[in-house]
A and B are shown apart, each in its own frame.
Chain A
Amino acid sequence: KNQVEQSPQSLIILEGKNCTLQCNYTVSPFSNLRWYKQDTGRGPVSLTIMTFSENTKSNGRYTATLDADTKQSSLHITASQLSDSASYICVVTWFSGGYNKLIFGAGTRLAVHP
């Protein structure tokens, strides 16, 4: 069964600290893996997209890693800011029937406190 599991479910850190979010998936065939940030009341916004041949991708203070062999990904946030408080969703693209399908994880809710 195609699944995406994220950990932890929620996380509280202090402003300025780093954190790492985890994503494990069992999706096959695998097209790519995306990390999205979702602010409360808004839709998901893409942070990074990685294909199976890429093992790291950065977007400012966000760095995603991918190990296609172990089917694991992580999102590292450096020097967190209050505005980083949001849900972070790992999404794996599954190629089926000629089209891509997005399989979503349940997300990690991050709270950054001053």
Chain B
Amino acid sequence: EAGVTQFPSHSVIEKGQTVTLRCDPISGHDNLYWYRRVMGKEIKFLLHFVKESKQDESGMPNNRFLAERTGGTYSTLKVQPAELEDSGVYFCASSRRDRTHYGYTFGSGTRLTVV
């Protein structure tokens, strides 16, 4: 089966611009998660979709970040307007069920650089 796909792999934008990241989860995986790693820090949770519904968005840093998952398939994460501190690697992961014995499959991430 195909893995979790993220696009683009790299993005360099100027402060104040808008960027949209995309994640295609594994087909049939109801759960989709966004995580972020800023330089030198650990990976941190941003939000969790169950199908098209936002189950938990407690990790979203502020209202400049907007995530959507229309139709319960792929998801987008928009940053508008981008700030310097938004630079980092954004990971998407998906899982079939949110149970302890199920694994999470991660995408390769999008490296965002805001200059």
Assembled-state Cα–Cα distance A69/B109 (Å): 35
Contact A105 B42 (CB under 8 A): yes
Residues facing B in A71-114 (CB within 8 A) are 89, 93, 95, 97, 99-102, 104-107
Residues of B41-94 at the interface with A, using a CB-CB cut-off of 8 Å, are 41-45, 48, 55-56, 91, 93
B100 and A51 form a contact (CB under 8 A): yes
Report whether over half of chain A's contact residues are helix, strand or loop; otherwise say mixed: strand
Across-interface contacts of B108 in A (CB, < 8 A): 41-43
Q: Which of B42, B99, B103 has the most CB of A within 10 A?
A: B42
Cα separation A105 to B101 with both chains bound (whole Å): 20
Report whether over half of chain B's contact residues are helix, strand or loop; otherwise say mixed: loop
CA distance A107 to B43 in the complex (A): 9
> B residues engaging A (CB < 8 A)?
4, 33, 35, 41-45, 48, 55-56, 91, 93, 98-101, 103-104, 106-109
A-B CB contact pairs (8 Å), 22 listed:
A31-B100, A41-B109, A42-B108, A43-B4, A43-B106, A43-B107, A43-B108, A44-B91, A49-B101, A49-B103, A51-B100, A95-B100, A97-B56, A99-B56, A100-B98, A100-B99, A101-B45, A102-B33, A102-B45, A104-B42, A104-B44, A106-B41
